[in-house]
A and B are shown apart, each in its own frame.
Chain A
């Protein structure tokens, strides 16, 4: 890993911290507030790629674990990891990795704009929603004893908000790709 990769990883982790400081927005039609931070996983994979995105989130989780209040709302510390949603936090790195793999596969220079939008959206949905819930929900079910089916049904409430986040992440990732491409090219 060269120094530039190291710096990109650290800067992206810092961006995720800042996204947590932005006040959440509540939309009228969905009950869940949109925090910019939870888009970080999708953004990391789509913008700096699989390996660097995953490392940025490993670094971020490390900051949580050593007691820095870097999660949105000033939360942090081992207590959050020990709680029911610990699986989601630990799943972030994997989710960012999968997002990055898909983005690296599907997005190339010279594609039509709409194909790039499609690729980023697919990467965000599969990595940031499917993979993340695939880790977080069974974890939550195991820790809290809530039957898996009930936990999964309950999580459906968050899906509309997450799709909206995937759409915002897609637009932002494509804007960054057009302005300052960093996504590694996959042979």
Chain B
């Protein structure tokens, strides 16, 4: 149900370590926001677009992933045309689209487990000062992935129950029971986790 946005591939960008990609994304966004020059922004847009489309996604998949964000950017650009001079609007659109392409490229070439390793390292300082437990974060992510299909099945069951009784299907009448039924499981799951000693508390 929740298939990652990672795309299998062997490109040089796939082989780059996650940290390098994330630092590159950060540096790129800082430098693109520092410039107004179309001579810098247009090549940045073309390069990151080329990078993104060279990762092995089909054109349709590639566009589907960034389409919604681009739609928002273009709508805002259309508004900006009435308020700002044209070169400025062009700079804004190119900058944002370049960033979105690059960010989408990072997402498409990094596996969830690679991200998780990096997050665990980033959380180390917080763990040292006793603010949180890095292992808890991976446990929580695992719990979400494990329970989404179950909760969705429960949603379907509630919907079927509505249908069987001829009730209209409204979010209001579904969300309440869905949340209560789901959160009632919390105690059982927490007891199971503690019984297995996963958190060593």
Question: Measuring CB to CB, which residues of chain A are less than 8 angstroms from any residue of chain B?
Answer: 1-4, 6-15, 17-19, 21-22, 25, 34, 36, 39, 43, 47-48, 59, 62-63, 65-70, 73, 75-85, 140, 143-147, 150, 154, 168, 171-172, 175-176, 179-180, 182
Contact = CB atoms under 8 A, between A and B. Distances in A.
Given A18-B155, A68-B112, A69-B2, 10 more contacts: A1-B132, A36-B171, A36-B175, A47-B183, A67-B6, A82-B100, A83-B96, A83-B100, A146-B76, A150-B83
B161 interface: no
Contacts of A19: 175
B55 interface: no
A19 B151 CA distance: 10
A68 B4 contact: yes
Contacts of A48: 183
Contacts of B29: 82
A168 B173 CA distance: 10
B180 A1 contact: no
Contacts of A171: 172, 176
A43 B175 contact: yes
Given A67-B112, A82-B103, A8 B5 contact: no
A110 B89 CA distance: 56
Contacts of B141: 10, 59, 62-63
Interface string B163-201: 000000001101110111011111101100110000101
Of listed A77, A80, A81, residue having the most chain B CB within 10 A: A77
Interface string B61-75: 000011011001100
B3 A77 contact: no
A171 B171 CA distance: 11
A3 B185 contact: no
A81 B144 contact: no
Contact of A14 (B4, B106, B147): B147
Contacts of B6: 67
Nearest to B189: A7
Interface string B51-87: 0000000000000011011001100110110011000
Of listed A8, A79, A172, residue having the most chain B CB within 10 A: A79
B121 interface: no
Interface string B11-35: 0000000000000010001000000
Given A15-B178, A82-B103, A146 B193 contact: no
A15 B182 CA distance: 8
A3 B140 CA distance: 10
Contacts of A147: 83
B140 A13 contact: yes
B188 to A, nearest CB: 9
A170 to B, nearest CB: 10
Of listed B69, B77, B102, B104, residue having the most chain A CB within 10 A: B69
A35 B195 CA distance: 38
Contact of A66 (B119, B152, B182, B184): B119
